[in-house]
A and B are shown apart, each in its own frame.
Chain A
Amino acid sequence: MTETPHRATAEVTELTLHRLLDGAEVEPGLLGGLRRVAPPPEAEPMGFFTDASICIGCKACEVACKQWNGLPADGMEWSGRSYDNTVHLSATTWRHVTFTEQALPNGEVRWLFNSDVCKHCTAAPCQEACPTGALISNEYGNVYVQQDVCNGCGYCVSACPFGVIGRSETGDGLAHKCTLCYDRQRDGLEPACAKACPTGSIAFGPVAELRERAQARVEELRSKGESRAYLYGADDAGEYRRLNAFFLLTEKPEAYNLPPAPTRPVAKMLRRYAWSAAVGIGLSAVSAITLARKGGR
């Protein structure tokens, strides 16, 4: 497997008009977002390894995440889908435990749990789409929304192939998602969900270390008879680059409501521009020729 960088920033050209109106007293974020501070030095890429095979569906991660990040409640209604009444990640839900009840041929039922989260893609469609530069890959290689820069355009919402990032429609109107507890990381703490996880299903650490650990865990499970264990997102696959928050699953991705092969919207962008330009230039040429051939008044 080839080593690729953990960040996508090298591919993105950003020129910034900054410090234009430095020191002006206005609403925070109105002009503050125009400034650009020197980025902190790059640290070792950090991420999550979520091992679905030892998740017990306790939802401690969901609660810890809501509590630490001060996220509002979403209301409580029975979904009718096993014990999963969270159903989906959103602007106010950054961890979501999926509950899948599988009916086995022998009449027994087995549980499949997984704690879903932002995948912190190394080449993140939300970050590539963001027109303001609010979405960045921070010093830990995590995809992060700068809340003072975001203006709520909603492009990231439709760009994300996992349906992770959401725009707060009833709150501040801005895009929100898992920050990988950026604030805790800066203070040398592990993210709230990983701290709360009672089984170690959510492991936090340097991505390179986590990948080795995950690989070893797959081998261990296979040797013990769980032959379907595999890693979701640990390696590059086709047009999608690997994830800094990857998973160990034992069933196909659809069982956890994950896409089997996520697509990267920007991969085909130049083809789309080519069609648009060809039609625009072609019709302009037709118009110019028509005007040249038909006499004026």
Chain B
Amino acid sequence: MVLERFRARVSARFSGIRRDSLATRPDPGMATRSIPDPRRPGAFGAAHRDPGDAYAGVPILQRPAWRNEVAVYFYLGGISSGAFILGALADLSGPRWRSLAETGYVVSFAAMIPCVPLLIHDLGRPSRFHHMLRIFKPSSPMNLGTWTLVAHSGIVTLRTAAILADRLPVLGALAQPLPERLLGAAGLVPAVTLGGYTGVLIGTTSVPVWSRSPMLGGLFMASGVVTGAAAVSLTSILAKRDTAAERAALGTIAMVAGLTELGLLGGYLTTTGNLAAPLLRGMEGKLLAGAVGASGAALIAELAGARAHARHRFLGAVASVATLAGGAMLRWAVIRAGHRSALDRDANLEAMRATERNPGWGQPRGNA
């Protein structure tokens, strides 16, 4: 069918979702006979008693162009944001947190590195990526996000370079005049924007599962902080730079952020209502269940670790790994669910049905 071909053309460049898993919904009102078929109510040749059924199964929206690169970018951008927030706050809390500050900045820098190539690769014309920066346009979250990423990557690169330079004799002296703490404090603004704007970006579309709830940005922000804390904690433990106080502080932050994330996920699913269905079925449902399970397991490991003396090292590492896996599954599930949601005509119509606040043009006036 033409529609299948249309989808297959788009699918060809999207490796994440198989073509057959998005097969056209069968049209309940269609029949090939020219007489009414008693087995199929409403069927009358190709005609429909309810003309609204003529295009049953044909989505109104087009399929999103965003594929797996975007899910990976959302994930790494969140880690970079969360790790920077922790690093900068440790930086501002005095010299006793110096080790945590350094780990935070370095993790944030490492997570930021793949972000720009991922975003460029996602474009239809990658050689024109710089056109994003020809204007400043706050009405477009993607434009604001690009400027945010530029500011964030600049600051985290300077901050990481200063840390590395400190260890070398000549560069250390050159890096001295950098207003390091001021840079860290100023960097909090783009870092906090980076963690959540990704959810605002896909929320500011017509795709039902992404746009119905206002909470998706908050959910991605919380997930960014908790995965950032997990990445910092794991790096610290693996590099054997961790202290009991650091493990305890990161454990507390991860627990509060993890509980916030689970709460916001519940709020997001509730406010999305029926339109959240694509997130609860099939592969997306499994990914979301995996995300919730991993976050829950991380919380239990954190709690058990905190009860042990000064947060158990091994349990802290387990909690961090579980948190990082959960964050990845969450982003992947949400991006994939958007494809299903856009291609579901019933969801399209449900999201754009007439309401008192937005009556639309849908009501034929007068009597039938």
Judging by beta carbons under 8 Å apart, are B260 and A109 in contact? no
The answer to whether A188 has its CB under 8 Å from any CB of chain B is no
Binary contact track B201-225/A, C-beta < 8 Å → 1, others 0? 1111111000100111111111001
Interface centre among A11, A134, A254, A271 (most CB of B within 10 A): A254
Which residues of B168-196 have CB atoms within 8 Å of chain A's CB atoms? 188, 192-193, 195-196
Instruction: State the CA gap A229–B353 with chains docked (Å).
Output: 20
Judging by beta carbons under 8 Å apart, are A102 and B123 in contact? no
The answer to whether A213 has its CB under 8 Å from any CB of chain B is no
> Which of A165, A249, A278, A291 sits near B89, CB closer than 8 Å?
A291
> Which of B9, B51, B355, B366 sits near A102, CB closer than 8 Å?
B51
Stretch among B137-145, B157-165, B285-293 lining the A interface: B137-145
Judging by beta carbons under 8 Å apart, are B362 and A276 in contact? no
Which residues of B119-135 have CB atoms within 8 Å of chain A's CB atoms? 122-135
Binary contact track A1-36/B, C-beta < 8 Å → 1, others 0? 000000000011111111000000001011001101
Judging by beta carbons under 8 Å apart, are B211 and A263 in contact? yes
Least CB distance from B150 to A in Å reads 13
> Which of A109, A250, A265, A288 sits near B44, CB closer than 8 Å?
A109
The answer to whether A44 has its CB under 8 Å from any CB of chain B is no
The answer to whether A240 has its CB under 8 Å from any CB of chain B is yes
Tell me which residues across on chain B come within 8 A of A87, comparing CB atoms. 1-3, 6, 58
Judging by beta carbons under 8 Å apart, are B362 and A174 in contact? no
Judging by beta carbons under 8 Å apart, are B135 and A103 in contact? no
> Which of A109, A129, A294 sits near B252, CB closer than 8 Å?
A294
* Interface residue count on the B side (C-beta < 8 Å): 127
Judging by beta carbons under 8 Å apart, are A13 and B139 in contact? yes
Least CB distance from A140 to B in Å reads 22
Tell me which residues across on chain A come within 8 A of B123, comparing CB atoms. 151-153, 173
The answer to whether B13 has its CB under 8 Å from any CB of chain A is yes
Binary contact track A285-297/B, C-beta < 8 Å → 1, others 0? 0111011101111
Judging by beta carbons under 8 Å apart, are B139 and A266 in contact? yes
Judging by beta carbons under 8 Å apart, are A131 and B132 in contact? yes
Judging by beta carbons under 8 Å apart, are B52 and A13 in contact? no
Tell me which residues across on chain B come within 8 A of A249, comparing CB atoms. 364
Q: Assuming A87-B3, A98-B55, is B361 touching A131 (CB within 8 A)? A: no
The answer to whether A95 has its CB under 8 Å from any CB of chain B is no
